[in-house]
Amino acid sequence: MLSTDLVERQLLDALPVSAYALDLDGRVVNVHQPAARFGIEIPTAASHGDAARDRPLWDVTAGVFSREQIERAMTMLRTGRAPIVRWEFALGATADRRVLLAQMTPLHDDAHAVTGFVVSATDVSSVHRVHEAATDASTSLARTIDLDRVYHEAAHHLREALRPDLIVIAIIDHADIASPRLAYHSAGDDDRRTTERRFAAAWREALESRGLRTHRTGSTWEITAPLVGEVDPVGVISVAVDDSESPEQLDQATRLLSVVAAHLGAAVEREQAVARAVHQQRNHVIGEITSGIAQELRNPVFGISSAAQLLRFRALEDPVMEKNVGRILREVERLNRMVTTLAELGRPVTLKRSPGDPDAVWDDVLEGERGRLESRAVAVRRTRAQTHVSALIDAEQLAQAFRSVLSNAVEAAPEASDISLSSGIPANGKWRCALTNGGPPIPPDVLPRVFDLFVSTKPGSTGTGLAHARRIIEEHGGTISIESSAASGTTVTVTIRA
């Protein structure tokens, strides 16, 4: 049952702010203009009532209704070319401009002949703002690339049309649909964790269903829409609006949010595609450079190794010389491994795909690395996907990537500790695994570059293992990411489309 206040509000929303009865020549027969109730007044050259009668409407309203528009509408109605004529017009300055919808209908006698007309004006400012914001958002988000600018553009259009109390945008990182990352918060950085907890359930429902979600909390409506790219969700957007708005305006808010979400999702996916293209181009250039370096180094390294081997035979009676030659040979061997790795990085990753289970690849890797695990008394706690996964993979190449990830985790983990390996399929259909060790955190200045070539926190490491692993994962159309903190350890997350 509707409350009295709600019924009254809906009735007032439906009433026109002005209504005029006209004769066949467009002269005013009667006027009804409860302007004070709405805070809107159509300016008149004469007051209401008798002073406005028998005068053309375009004179009475001081040109708000143009003569040309009124006469054209009367002609269309009189000749039966249209049963009703509508047009929009604006009142007021730009800052507080109101948009009104004019509507003219004919009056008929018993013989269905046109005897006059009724012109009414209804405030449609909120609807107009929504349509305008949707159009502007479509235009601006279609050409914007920088993500921060994308978020601010979307929020700007929502503020213009809806005047929400809060706007929140969260982006899915590395296909982890369960925990989107807060990317934009209209209230700044204040209480971001509280905001994430507040919207967590709505985000999860919107992402899983790929549909709009509304939730009423006290006097506020919270509306959430998923940001869906061409195939998969890329994030969510939520707004909180005052419950004092009418149901019609709430419906307009949901429609606008759906439009903005669609364009925002496309903009986010477009930016991510550009970033991937830049990264792939960078890898291609690095590959060419490293291949050239490997070719240039291979012969000198071989020459140094041969010369050192000859020196070793002549230095058997000189312990100091023999020690130094041994040091040369060890460094040459390290250089030789680096040259081999550089040559591998310089070659394109060519996958030989066939249906396979990434968890089965992990099984083989763990079995093959059992000696390394036992040497450090490290145990792997395994949580597998509940259902069998079948994906197009190159099992050999994927094993190489997993082996690099495991090797780094084992070396970083304290001796006699546990490493956790969990895998599953979130709602977006991508196989996902996470490998966590409890070792010391990666320094914040190094963390963003751990997948770059020659970056390593281990003494004597070439810093190529994770870089190569990233190439393999990305060639599979997947992602690899890393998080590290003193509280939760270091976690490497890999996703592959199942």
Domain-terminating residue out of 101, 123, 145: 123
Domain-terminating residue out of 269, 304, 325: 269
Residues 182 and 132 in one domain: yes
Domain-terminating residue out of 123, 158, 180: 123
Task: Answer whether residue 420 is part of any domain.
Answer: yes
Q: Please give the residue range of the domain that contains residue 172.
A: 128-269
Q: What's the CA gap between 99 and 91, in Å, rounded? A: 6
Domain count, the chain: 3
**Nearest alpha carbon to residue 465 among 420, 380, 400:** 400
107, β-bridge pairs: 116
**Nearest alpha carbon to residue 168 among 149, 150, 187, 153:** 187
pLDDT in tens, 161-195: 788 889 999 998 755 566 788 889 987 655 777 88
Q: What's the CA gap between 41 and 121, in Å, rounded? A: 11
Does residue 386 or residue 359 have the better pLDDT? 359
Residues 114 and 139 in one domain: no
Task: Answer whether residue 82 is part of any domain.
Answer: yes
Task: Answer whether residue 306 is part of any domain.
Answer: no
Task: Answer whether residue 286 is part of any domain.
Answer: no
Residues 415 and 459 in one domain: yes
Residues 77 and 151 in one domain: no
pLDDT at 315 over 80: no
Task: Answer whether residue 322 is part of any domain.
Answer: no
Task: Answer whether residue 329 is part of any domain.
Answer: no
Residues 115 and 136 in one domain: no
CATH number of the domain where residue 379 is located: 3.30.565.10
Residues 53 and 132 in one domain: no
pLDDT at 428 over 80: no
pLDDT at 71 over 80: yes
pLDDT band, very low/low/confident/very high, at 245 (cuts 50, 70, 90) = low
Show the DSSP H helices in 112-191 as ranges: 125-143, 147-162
Q: Taking residues 78-95, what's their average pLDDT?
A: 80
Q: What's the CA gap between 49 and 62, in Å, rounded? A: 16
Q: What's the CA gap between 351 and 100, in Å, rounded? A: 62
Residues 109 and 134 in one domain: no
pLDDT band, very low/low/confident/very high, at 117 (cuts 50, 70, 90) = very high
Residues 160 and 247 in one domain: yes
Range with the poorest average pLDDT among 2-11, 205-214, 370-379, 409-418: 2-11
CATH number of the domain where residue 88 is located: 3.30.450.20
Residues 34 and 47 in one domain: yes
Task: Answer whether residue 3 is part of any domain.
Answer: no
